[in-house]
Amino acid sequence: MGKFTEDDLKKELETKEYEYGFYTDIESDTFPIGLNEEVVRAISMKKEEPEWMTQWRLEAFEHWKQMVEPEWANVNYVKPDFQAISYYSAPSKKPKYNSIDEVDPELLDTFNRLGISLEEQKKLAGVAVDIVMDSVSVATTFKSTLAEKGIIFCSISEAIKEHPELVKKYIGSVVPQRDNFYAALNSAVFSDGSFCYIPKGVRCPMELSTYFRINQAGTGQFERTLVIADEDSYVSYLEGCTAPSRDENQLHAAVVELIALDGAEIKYSTVQNWYPGGKDGKGGVYNFVTKRGLCEKNAKISWTQVETGSAITWKYPSCILKGDNSIGEFYSIAVTNNFQQADTGTKMIHLGKNTRSTIISKGISAGKSQNSYRGLVKIGPRAKNARNFSQCDSLLMGNECGAHTFPYIEVSNKTAQIEHEATTSKIGEDQIFYCNQRGIDTEKAIALIVNGFSKEVLNKLPMEFAVEAQKLLEISLEGSVG
């Protein structure tokens, strides 16, 4: 084999096709396209929701109607036509399965091809999977183990029915209905999602995870996730995404709310690999997500994300550090290729005393993609001794892509200590030369450098997920990552 140069890598990045593009044919129970009050009511009815929930959705819909789509992000795209989307789609074989054998074999096959077979998952070290296939959860494993500890882990529609007091108290408390355009839309039409409650003092014995998939043509996916960690509890939550190849743009507007009460800790990890669009920039998923966590006293929320997919990403997992001594963390790798555009980052809002936050963001852009980091660090006047460290590094491959950083730093307390640094670079010729000199060939050298570049974030992923994250990075950077 000849020398593997950066040009080869570039070429590979450009020609690499989306591996997970296939379409499962399952009879769907799909609503006609369009959005109005009736549709919102119908969704609510379909989910057999109580009246307060229907009202809540309608309120959100009222707000949404008055809002305009935000345009400040550093991305260009054809705006979705919200009246051309079907707002509900569910696999039609609705009854819940008790064991894996009852699940539609075609569906199982889908998961197998994604490399997340339930059997394997079951055998693997204690991962409970709540699979969301086109908005309705069809399988929940390890539920009994969790129930013993008093942990509630179910779909949000189930939670609305069975734990209304919890849902009513916390839903919209971190991301209000009128927070932003997409959050309002989500609040009005969310179809399903996950709900998780960890009781006081309980340490969740396993990593909780859900897999999302957009499947039905022309359906937007509106997930709603609510994670509540009660006092002194701990939970690690995983979320992973892949979506089939499709030419028309698909909209994904999820909302994730995390609540960490006094002394609790939530670790939320995401691997996102929605269909990024073809080499010519056609198609791909629009990912407009609102993720936010609230930290009470001594609580900690940690976001880790590996973003390799989606045509457009618009995502800012944030922490509101309300309680004293609370901690917020954000670790991110964003890889963009071809015509992908990502505008992602975080917000750390320091309100309590002695609050700390860390931001590590790594952007890798190749092809004709644009990769932006946009972050806010805000120190309120009462946040004494707040501490923040931010680091944003970008790696550029080729001169047709772009890397951008837009950090906002707002400080109104003199005791705050803020550090921000950003660098942009390419894989240096001298770095490769150094490796060559020591007998490491160019291919391995690139692998080494890219790996080293993203290591800080990869290390933060839970074991089970790190493997998958590596896999996804390989899709974009195959041949260079060992």
Partner 1 sequence: MSLKDKLLSSYIAFEDHLEEDSPIHDIRNEAIKVFEAEGFPTKKLEAWKYTSLNSLLKENYSIFPKQDHSLEFKQVKKYFLHDVDTYKVVFVDGVYSSFLSETTHDKIDVCLLSAALNKPKYKPVIEAYFNKAAKQDSLSSLNTAFAKEGAYVFIPNHKEVEKPIEIINFSTGNEAAIMLQPRNLIVVGENSHVQIIERHQSLSGNAVFTNSVTEIFAEKRAYVDYYKIQNDNTNASLIDNTNIWQEQESNCRVHTFSFGGKLTRNNLNFYQKGERCDSTLKGITILEDKQHVDHNTLVHHIEPNCESHQDYKGIFGDASTGVFNGKVVVEKEAQKTDAFQQNNNILIHDKATINAKPQLEIFADDVKCSHGCTIGQLDEEALFYMRSRGIAKKEARALLMYAFANNVLESVKIPELKVRINKLIANKIGVRLGFEL
CB of 72 to partner 1, least distance (A): 7
Asked if residue 394 binds partner 1 (CB under 8 A), the reply is: yes
Asked if residue 362 binds partner 1 (CB under 8 A), the reply is: no
Closer residue to partner 1, CB minimum distance, 218 or 407:
407
Of 199, 278, 407, 479, the residue at the interface with partner 1 (CB under 8 A) is 407
Q: Is 462 helix (H, G, I), strand (E, B) or coil?
A: coil
Residues 369-388 that bind partner 1 (CB under 8 A): 381
Contact predicate 259/174, CB 8 Å = yes
Structure tokens at 337: 């290729």
Contact predicate 156/194, CB 8 Å = yes
CB of 379 to partner 1, least distance (A): 8
CB of 280 to partner 1, least distance (A): 20
Closer residue to partner 1, CB minimum distance, 102 or 419:
419
Binding to partner 1 by CB under 8 A, coded x per residue (else -) over 414-443, reads: xxxxxxxxxxxxx-----------------
CA pair distance 347, 357, nearest whole angstrom: 10
CA distances from 380 to 349, 350, 351, 358 (A): 8, 6, 5, 17
Q: 439-442: long-range contacts at Cβ-Cβ below 8 A with a sequence spacing of 24 or more? A: 441/3, 441/4, 442/3, 442/4, 442/5
Closer residue to partner 1, CB minimum distance, 261 or 397:
397
CB of 415 to partner 1, least distance (A): 6
Q: What are phi and psi of 41, to 5 degrees?
A: -60, -40
CA pair distance 222, 93, nearest whole angstrom: 20
CA pair distance 334, 158, nearest whole angstrom: 33
Asked if residue 396 binds partner 1 (CB under 8 A), the reply is: yes
CB of 271 to partner 1, least distance (A): 26
Count the site residues for partner 1 by CB under 8 A.
Answer: 34
Residues β-bridged to residue 89? 30
Residues 63-82 that bind partner 1 (CB under 8 A): 72
CB under 8 A: which stretch of 270-278, 279-287, 343-351, 389-397 binds partner 1? 389-397
Asked if residue 300 binds partner 1 (CB under 8 A), the reply is: no
Of 9, 403, 445, 481, the residue at the interface with partner 1 (CB under 8 A) is 403
Asked if residue 398 binds partner 1 (CB under 8 A), the reply is: yes
Cβ-based burial of 421 (10 A; exposed 0-12, middle 13-18, buried ≥19): exposed
Closer residue to partner 1, CB minimum distance, 226 or 403:
403
Nearest alpha carbon to residue 228 among 185, 248, 257: 257
Closer residue to partner 1, CB minimum distance, 198 or 446:
446
- For partner 1, the binding residues (CB under 8 A) are 72, 381, 394, 396-426
